[in-house]
Chain A
């Protein structure tokens, strides 16, 4: 089955700086790679996703890049703000009924 590794487990950045979270996956058949943001005590919310026919996707301050050859994808957050503080999860899927395989999460801390 799919295995998703996520790094780092904790990331602390100064407000206004950029943050990068990286994930690798094992199943070359995976073709869908979403990122979720989970605030304390809340449900995970989809913030951006990318499919394997695209190398990069951007939505305002967040972007995701995908390298299918190397089997890794990354989340980039620019001009970080206090409200970006949360746990971020990457995930991968090959499109089967068993849904997404998640990474273990990254706790992003934005320092004022």
Chain B
């Protein structure tokens, strides 16, 4: 069966420090991968998605970047964090079968980032 892991689960970072969140998927190949952010008490905002290695699409211009160095690895980064980057970051994947996106999105456990 497929599983998705992301880490770290919690981190507290000072303003201006770098960030790296990592996500890996097991049990599937060539998934679509996503990074969402959820501010406190708010909805889910799509930040980036990737349909393959090295292919990144950005949905919202911001202080963050994403990379996909391997088929089942997705990384969210920042060179200098802002206070507004605080939130709950969720990695997700969806299966592609016979070239068709199934639509079903499965989330990782989430990474809670507090920027002070």
Give chain A's interface residues, CB within 8 Å of chain B.
Answer: 32, 34, 41-46, 49, 89, 91, 93, 95-105
Q: Provide a sorted-by-A list of 20 A–B residue pairs whose CB atoms are within 8 angstroms.
A: A34-B103, A41-B112, A42-B110, A43-B107, A44-B44, A46-B105, A49-B103, A49-B104, A91-B105, A97-B101, A98-B49, A98-B57, A98-B59, A99-B32, A99-B34, A99-B105, A100-B105, A102-B44, A104-B43, A105-B42
We find that the number of chain B residues with CB closer than 8 angstroms to chain A is 24
Q: In the complex, what's the smallest C-beta–C-beta distance from A97 to chain B, in angstroms?
A: 5
Interface centre among A34, A41, A102 (most CB of B within 10 A): A102
- Kindly state the separation between the CA atoms of A67 and B108 in the bound complex, as whole angstroms: 31
Set of chain A residues within 8 Å of B34, measured between Cβ atoms? 99
Partner of B107, one of A32, A44, A49, A105: A44
Q: Which of B33-86 contact A (CB under 8 A)?
A: 34, 42-44, 46, 49, 51, 57, 59
Given the known inter-chain contacts A97-B32, A99-B32, A102-B44, please indicate yes or no for A46 contacting B101, CB distance below 8 A.
no
Set of chain B residues within 8 Å of A100, measured between Cβ atoms? 103, 105
Interface centre among A93, A101, A103 (most CB of B within 10 A): A93
Give chain B's interface residues, CB within 8 Å of chain A.
Answer: 32, 34, 42-44, 46, 49, 51, 57, 59, 90, 92, 94, 100-101, 103-110, 112
Interface of B is mostly: strand
B103 pairs with A93, CB closer than 8 A: yes
B49 pairs with A44, CB closer than 8 A: no
Interface of A is mostly: loop
Set of chain B residues within 8 Å of A103, measured between Cβ atoms? 43
Q: In the complex, what's the smallest C-beta–C-beta distance from B47 to chain A, in angstroms?
A: 11
Set of chain A residues within 8 Å of B32, measured between Cβ atoms? 97, 99
B44 pairs with A95, CB closer than 8 A: no
Set of chain A residues within 8 Å of B43, measured between Cβ atoms? 89, 102-105
B105 pairs with A34, CB closer than 8 A: yes
